[in-house]
Structure formats: C-alpha cells, structure tokens
Amino acid sequence: ITPAVTYPRSRQEAIDRGFLGVRGEHTVNYLRHFTEREVPEGPLRHPGAVSPQLLDQTVAWMQELCPGVNLQASSIEGTDFVRLSYGFGGTAGINATRRRRPTNVGFGLTYALPIVVACLTATPGSLILLENPEAHLHPKGQSRMAALISAAAATGAQMIVETHSDHVLNGVRLAVKRGDMQPDEALIHFFRGNGTGAEVISPRVDEDGMLAQWPEGFFDEWENSLDQLLD
C-alpha cells in the first residue's frame, strides 16, 4: 500500500477472513483489531520487542527498517475507515509525542508495513506472494527485510518473492549460513530474457550461503562497476 490519510475498515476481510488484501490494503484495520494477538515463540518473535503482542512485534521489526519509529492504528468513529500514524521516539531531535500521517513520512514505512504484518502472521502452509519487498528501503533495511522473510519461511510458510535487490538475496543467503533456514528451503530462480522467451537458471545455495553458480547478469553489476573503478 502507498501512504494515505485513511484505509478501509472492512470487518469481513480483515477480521472475519484475516485477509490483509492483495495489496495489503486491509493491514491497518487488521493491526487495529488484532493488536494484542501474540506472535508465537520462534524465529518470527523479535527479541527486542516490548511484548509478544502483534503491535509490539510489528513495531520492533519496523524499527529494523527505520530506527526509533513507532505506529498506531485507530478507527475513525462514524466511518468505514481507519487511520495510521507514526511517531519517531525522539530520535534526531524529533518529539515522540507528535504523530505523523503516512503521507508526511517516507514511502518505505507504509510500503513495508503489510509485508511485516504478513510475515508475522504467517503460519505453516501459508502462501505469501511478495513483489519487490525492497522498494523504498535503504540497503540495511532490505537485508533485514530478507531476514524477516526467511524467518517466516522457517515457520513453514511458503514465501514467493520477486526481487531486484542483491541485499535481499544476500539476506536470504545469510539466513542459510546462520542456520535460520536449511539450504533446500531457499530456492533461487534467475530469469534471463533472450527476446523470444526466458532462460531459467536455478543456482543452488550451499550450507555456508554460497551459490553453486553465479550466472552472468545475476546481481553482478556491483562487481562490474567496482572492476571499472579499480581499473
């Protein structure tokens, strides 16, 4: 979802179905209603969170993407809408008591929120499709997002992620090396177009997080640019 002043308040979708929406549009209402639902003990539970409750866990993981951030989800009485607001914990001289609308902060926070909540609420057998989870995040945030996605996969959820980020790729590789995921739980597919179709290359991940092969054009631009800088 993109930053907005209000978000839909649908009981049928967010509460009865527990559905965040194809684009995450029901995330704010879901978070508002299930604030106190606990994240089960395991890889998804953030050790630095105030409590195991969903809102506190969401805040803890969001702080991995933006240090000091906190959030509130509340209903707008008499309407079918809910609102989301951010505070920034006094970091960088900002007063924590002053709440900010999503439209007045960076795109990355609101874009990432449904992904964080989807991962935290994942259960064995869940299927979650993520398109470019790295969008609008700085490199460290992209790597930490990959750690959260890997934790959701480790709980038994099937995560299908389309990404253009080497930081996301490396975050998954690090999860394998740390033992958070087994090598056979991280499947990588590289699609290379040839004008008439697509060639599919599937590098295997070893226990140390290294790839069995590194195809040309597969997240190698950083190395190519460095070669030119050092030439």
Could you read off the pLDDT of 58-80 as tens digits, one per residue? 999 999 999 999 999 999 999 99
Domain match, 103 and 130 both: no
The answer to whether residues 96 and 198 belong to one domain is no
For residue range 216-226, what is the model confidence (pLDDT) as tens digits? 888 888 888 88
Domain for residue 20, yes or no? Answer: yes
Chain segment 77-118, per-residue pLDDT in tens: 999 999 999 998 754 444 556 889 999 998 899 999 999 999
Contact 17, 95 (CB under 8 A): no
Please report, for the domain that includes residue 129, its CATH number: 3.40.50.300
Domain that holds residue 137: 122-215
**Per-residue pLDDT tens over the stretch 172-198:** 999 999 999 999 999 999 998 878 888
Q: Is the pTM of this model over 0.95?
A: no
**Number of domains comprising the chain:** 2
Q: Is residue 156 part of a domain?
A: yes
What's the alpha-carbon Rg for the chain, to the nearest Å? 19
Return the ∠ at Cα 152 (arms to 114 and 164), rounded to 5°. 65
Quick check: 147 pLDDT over 80?
yes
| Position 209 pLDDT exceeds 80 | yes
